[in-house]
Amino acid sequence: MNAQTTAKQTSKMSQIGKTRYMVQVAMLGAAAVVLMFFDIPLPFAPSFYKIDLSEVPVLIGAFAMGPLAGAAIELIKILLNLVMKGSTTAGVGEVANFLIGCAYVMPAAWIYKTQKTKKNAMIGMAVGTVFLAAAGGLLNAFVLLPAYAAAFGMPMDALVGMGSAVNKAITSLPTFVLFAVVPFNIIKGVVVSLVTMLLYKHISRLLKGEAMN
């Protein structure tokens, strides 16, 4: 086997690897969109705040293939959902949701990438949950809630009132964020982290097995 033949085989294997990588990213993105349809509201927040498990495939992909893969899966999830449901905020909400998702997934994946151990995975998900709560709070306060209020032609006080109806601690926008948005995102981060811990080993083996075929 000469050097030219070896180079061709290496190039072919690299191309196959890239194709499988893209297929896996697309499949995980599609799975995330499906999971968005299965959501539940929480009693302390308005009904439009619903928890789903769509970040689980994103985080699994980020752990298995790296932080950038996680961002790509998150983007596919947002774009597919935009195509299927449209946007009521001219894309503003979708951009904010992408950033919130990345705020959770990417720190977790970066930490796990440094040393792929269960302990690092747990630390990464804990840090990701903190980033999720912080980014979710800020983006809801300054982007998402104002965008939704504008989209539906209602004053911010009306949104605050929707929060007050289910949570008496909510009396203003800051308390809305503090007592609804932040707890919502913390619970979401914990739930997604627990489910990911249960599923990751099995799904990552499948992904690696496909890569070795």
**Pair of tokens at residue 155:** 């004053």
Whether the per-residue pLDDT at 135 is higher than 70: the answer is yes
- What confidence score (pLDDT) does residue 89 get? 74
* Local confidence band at 63 (pLDDT 50, 70, 90 cut-offs): very high
- What confidence score (pLDDT) does residue 91 get? 82
Q: Which helix (H) or strand (E) holds 75?
A: helix 67-85
Q: Which domains are assigned to the chain? A: 10-212 (1.10.1760.20)
- Using one digit for the tens of pLDDT, what is the confidence trace for 146-194? 988 888 889 999 999 999 999 999 999 999 999 999 999 999 999 999 9
- What confidence score (pLDDT) does residue 213 get? 43
Please state the rounded mean pLDDT for residues 73-97.
89
Q: Which helix (H) or strand (E) holds 41?
A: strand 40-41
Angle between helices 55-65 and 182-212 (to 10 degrees): 50
